[in-house]
Copies of this chain bind each other. A is one copy, B any other.
Amino acid sequence: MALLLQPLIGDNETWLKPLRQLLPGEDIRIWPNVGNAEDIEFAAVMRLPDGKLAEFPSLRMICSLLAGQDILLSDPGLPDVPIVRTDDQEGSESMTTTVLVHVLRHYCQLPQYAAMQARGGWERLPHRWKKDTNVGFLGLGLFGAGAARRIAHEGFNVMGWSRTTKNVEGVTSFSGPQGLMEMLRKTHILVNLLPLTPETRGMVNREVLGALPKGASLINLGRGAHLRASDLYWALDEGILSHATLDVFEVEPPPPGERAWTDPRITLTPHVARLEYDIESTVLHIAKAINAIRGGQSLQGLVDRRRGY
């Protein structure tokens, strides 16, 4: 029996060296060199072509290497085996740094000062103090809760919305449609870290953006499919949003000529919110899951297919 591995980043040896130490004697095959499909017992993958995982009759478990499960779950032929997350605190710490730099950029009005530099201006802009700045998070999962806690620690007023009410230190928690509107009406900086599910697809729409106070700003670190570009442009044109920072986009990369490339009120980064990827930690999760399933123990970090994360 074998483990099929699709390395997410880095070279193969960076994955194989710790894996061989943790799973001595394991037959590890690197995608796309599957060999005999009947040998594949475990698959540690980002995303294989649709229907591919269904070709492994002995498959007992999938280890998902991506933080968001939407990509894996969109495979219509996905076999009915447990899916285990390999993500952890390490990924959360990295996302927190990205949230921090963007929230501080928006708070310090660096996008506005960049526009000022471009037109040769030199004047101090009116400034809202940290203690008067409300940061609202969409999503309080592993990444959202970690980042929200950190932004609260930084001295901002922090609120968060999620499917169910959460208890996060220093963060006012909201849930449900009414809770969403209540949070949005007070939000100066909106950070999206929702998982992509059928319920959240397109959720950051005109109704949501329209509930923000004029001059608010948006940081989308979730998925491009949470936010239609046309809704974003509408909110900028209406003066609802003063700036938007997008690490994800409806189509990636955005097509040439797309307004987001050149609008000075849009900061685009190429899906790099997760700065650091700790291969060793991921490999540890893979080994743990394999040992658990072989030892008949319960699996940690199981993905709930119905909820989508």
Tell which of A41-49, A73-81, A104-112 binds the partner: A104-112
Contact flag A253-B104 (CB < 8 Å), given A110-B269, A270-B116, A276-B129: no
With a cutoff of 8 Å between Cβ atoms, the chain B residues found around residue A270 in the complex are 113, 116, 121-124
Contact flag A261-B104 (CB < 8 Å), given A122-B252, A124-B270, A276-B127: no
With a cutoff of 8 Å between Cβ atoms, the chain B residues found around residue A269 in the complex are 110, 113, 117
Cα–Cα, bound, A292→B201 (Å):
64
Cα–Cα, bound, A139→B69 (Å):
47
Cβ A108 vs Cβ B268 within 8 A: no
Contact with B along A288-306 (1 / 0, CB 8 A): 0000000000000000000
| A275 interface residue (CB < 8 Å to B) | yes
Cβ A101 vs Cβ B104 within 8 A: yes
**Residue of B with least CB distance to A103:** B101
| A272 interface residue (CB < 8 Å to B) | yes
Cβ A275 vs Cβ B101 within 8 A: no
Cα–Cα, bound, A98→B107 (Å):
10
Kindly identify which residue among B97, B108, B117, B129 contacts A98, using a CB–CB cutoff of 8 Å.
Answer: B108
With a cutoff of 8 Å between Cβ atoms, the chain B residues found around residue A130 in the complex are 97, 276
Knowing that A101-B108, A101-B110, A105-B105 touch, tell me 16 more A-B residue pairs with CB under 8 angstroms: A97-B108, A100-B100, A100-B104, A101-B104, A101-B105, A110-B267, A113-B268, A113-B269, A113-B272, A114-B114, A116-B270, A117-B268, A120-B261, A122-B270, A127-B275, A130-B276
